[in-house]
Structure 1
């Protein structure tokens, strides 16, 4: 089965067909509603925010059962997602290839190619699948929107704020530590 190029029409595939696809390292692949989405690897700004956020999360989760992972496949029902960061708390849900279940927290960093999927499709799919909290990071506006599904809360944090999780109450991240300073 040939891979789809960016902006081509979608062809429905099963999870088994998805797993058999020849995937290259220059792209990320997700399976949403039986359709393969292929996205280019993130750029420098995206990677910088991802690194800064990972570094900020690491000390909080050190030695705990829950752990942050970057760009790890997560299976939610029949869909395969690759959140920028996932906080995963059940060691028994790891298979050789992916995490088989809902992350406690899923984090997506917006880019022009993923914005619609991240803001609408993933928001709904994550909530329905049992993700407890969803962080949407906007490099353009330097904001983070935190959807704490378990509490029905939505909070927006700006550059001057310290992000707090509704799930891990002691987790606090100053947004100035996340967004790179202008050169």
Structure 2
């Protein structure tokens, strides 16, 4: 964390927030200055596992983002890539009452009333998360839960090292998984009408 210490008042030193289970809000989040990306999920801090995503993660993310960006040109939906704050309020949109703030790899928002200078407040229509090597429990368990609870219509989980993609579609408030798609498949979004993605073009440089 970057800490600015007053020249003459060491007692005013800014402390890095504890990563133990202390409940933090978006109001707290706005005061932090971490070197790495952090997210809040139900009031708990989650730090990025690495200083920067690996090359294949960025390659796959760029391929998907480009396809969405081109498709959505002159359409009512907007697409954003991380870092981009998505706040998921439960009862109130006040900063001190929001306890989940995530930075999905890719977000598509069709209700532009949810967009403001700070990012998005409310559930995007489509979220894409690209898994990294190692522990992915945050995406597979914690984010799955808050995306389902907050009403994200589609949650795409991309496994770049397995050249695979899984789509969770929200039906009657619960996620229903697709089959596991891989190279040779063309996937289609149910919430972004007409959008299709050729996975041969997503995984065009398999490692």
Shared fold, TM over 0.5: yes
In structure 1, runs of 5+ residues without a counterpart are none
User: 1:114 and 1:18, CA in 2 relative to 1: closer, same or farther beyond 3 A?
Assistant: farther
| Residue 59 (structure 1) aligned with residue 70 (structure 2) | yes
| Residue 2 (structure 1) aligned with residue 25 (structure 2) | no
User: How many angstroms apart in 2 are the aligned matches of 1:43 and 1:174?
Assistant: 22
Higher-Rg structure is 2
Aligned length: 179
TM-score, normalization by structure 1: 0.89
Name the residue aligned to 1:73.
85
| Residue 50 (structure 1) aligned with residue 73 (structure 2) | no
Indicate conservation of the 8 Å contact 1:4/1:38, yes or no.
Answer: no
Name the residue aligned to 2:30.
19
Instruction: Give the one of 32, 44, 59 matched to 1:35.
Output: 44
Indicate conservation of the 8 Å contact 1:76/1:102, yes or no.
Answer: yes
CA deviation after TM superposition for structure 1 residue 182, in Å: 4.0
CA deviation after TM superposition for structure 1 residue 132, in Å: 0.3
When structure 1 is superposed on structure 2, of 167-176 and 75-84 the one drifting more is: 167-176
After superposition, the CA RMSD in angstroms is 2.0
Residue 136 of structure 1 aligns to a residue whose secondary structure is: strand
| Residue 166 (structure 1) aligned with residue 206 (structure 2) | no
Divergent runs of 4+, >6 A: none
In structure 2, runs of 5+ residues without a counterpart are 1-13, 90-98
